[in-house]
Amino acid sequence: MNDLERFFGVSLAALLAAGCALTSHAVQPSSLGTVRSGAELEAAVDQPGPLTVETVVSTDWAVDRGGLINLDSPKAKAAGLTEGDEPIEVYFHAIRHPTQGLFIIDTGVEVAMRDRPDEAALMQSAVVKRYLHPEKMKFTAPLGEWLRAKGEKLQGVLFTHLHTDHLSGLRDVPRGTPLYNGPGEAHERALVNFFLSDVVDSAFEGQAPLSEWQFAADPSGQFAGVIDVFGDGSLWAISVPGHTSGSTAYLARTEAGPVLFTGDTCHTRWGWENGVEPGGFTADHAKNLEALEKLRALAARHPSMQVRLGHQALAPAAPAAQAAPSAPAAAP
């Protein structure tokens, strides 16, 4: 042991190898949701449903294309995609159920990010702050402002995963609101968490324990797990590990047809249209690609399905599509 290791009373090598948890925030099994199969999901999905969905662009942003798209993939190389800023959006999606009320998928950004940036959860780590480039954010609808204007009680937050850009509006979520995410991710140990845990703990401070979806093996073998969130077949959580270990997609049945929320299993329009997984922001490329292909195949089997990606609009007619380029190569 060197002096530093003696001081901490632990082998630094062992500490680094073990990493640390993403957050010390409490987790618990979700009491909401019923395990179903992929076959049951597909049997229900094309029937009109009772939900309404609204995708809200909380801020425009730009990040490295190499994080969003695997530029080493043969398709990306063939398309000539290179490193550089890619314009993206940070969303929250409002889901309204006639009796269960208002839920949101992910959280956009908090009001403080625009009005008092030094107090925002994302700014509580010098390392994260340096990589964040908040000067590239153009705020359009911080979550707290949107919630106040609507005046509806928020019944729950459904996370697609726990990367910081999906927790960045959590401070604006009323305390005590139930929070849901895929299993295992919150307390997973990783080296990178040494830099992230301050920010994530800050975002969760004072909030309810995180309820983890209790996925079970899908008997139809289509997905890693499928849960009927309200038990009435209106809203589904689909386990899609890869981008992160707990990554979860959601599918909402509306009057106008099914709407699929991919989370960051696919960030970009180009990635979805070409079947290329994210780049450096993804944890497990093989699993992410497998999950992406399963979601693309699901959408292809149900042509009426609208698809809402992690950070760009897919169809020009979708909300805020005017900010999305037709292809990353055309971006500045």
Interface residue list for Zn ion (CB under 5 A): 165, 264
Minimum distance between the CB of residue 190 and Zn ion, rounded to whole angstroms? Answer: 17
DSSP 196: H
Minimum distance between the CB of residue 265 and Zn ion, rounded to whole angstroms? Answer: 10
Query: Toward Zn ion, which CB reaches closer, 45 or 266?
Result: 266
Output phi, psi for 278, to 5 deg.
-60, 165
Q: Which residues contact 276 (CB under 8 A, 6 or more apart)?
A: 69, 70, 73, 75, 76, 270, 289
DSSP 51: B
Query: Toward Zn ion, which CB reaches closer, 50 or 263?
Result: 263
Query: Toward Zn ion, which CB reaches closer, 234 or 247?
Result: 247
Query: Toward Zn ion, which CB reaches closer, 172 or 264?
Result: 264
Q: Which residues contact 320 (CB under 8 A, 6 or more apart)?
A: 55, 57, 89, 140, 313
Q: Please give the structure tokens belonging to residue 197.
A: 């845990």
User: Can you say how many angstroms the Cα of residue 292 is from the centroid of all Cα atoms in its chain?
Assistant: 14
Find the angle CA(205)-CA(211)-CA(217) to the nearest 5 degrees: 145
Q: Residues 198, 124: contact at Cβ < 8 Å?
A: yes
Q: Residues 161, 181: contact at Cβ < 8 Å?
A: yes
Query: Toward Zn ion, which CB reaches closer, 228 or 264?
Result: 264
Minimum distance between the CB of residue 163 and Zn ion, rounded to whole angstroms? Answer: 5
Minimum distance between the CB of residue 197 and Zn ion, rounded to whole angstroms? Answer: 18
Query: Toward Zn ion, which CB reaches closer, 46 or 64?
Result: 64
Q: Please give the structure tokens belonging to residue 23.
A: 């957050």
Query: Toward Zn ion, which CB reaches closer, 112 or 162?
Result: 162
Minimum distance between the CB of residue 267 and Zn ion, rounded to whole angstroms? Answer: 6
Task: Tell me whether strands 52-64 and 34-36 are parallel, antiparallel or unpaired.
Answer: unpaired
The rounded distance, in Å, linking the Cα atoms of 53 and 105 is 10
Alpha-carbon Rg for the chain in angstroms: 19
Minimum distance between the CB of residue 42 and Zn ion, rounded to whole angstroms? Answer: 27
Query: Toward Zn ion, which CB reaches closer, 165 or 277?
Result: 165
Minimum distance between the CB of residue 161 and Zn ion, rounded to whole angstroms? Answer: 8
Q: What is the C-alpha end-to-end distance of the chain, expressed in Å?
A: 51
Query: Toward Zn ion, which CB reaches closer, 45 or 240?
Result: 240
| DSSP H/E element including 64 | strand 52-64
DSSP 271: H
Minimum distance between the CB of residue 187 and Zn ion, rounded to whole angstroms? Answer: 20
Minimum distance between the CB of residue 94 and Zn ion, rounded to whole angstroms? Answer: 18
The rounded distance, in Å, linking the Cα atoms of 13 and 198 is 21
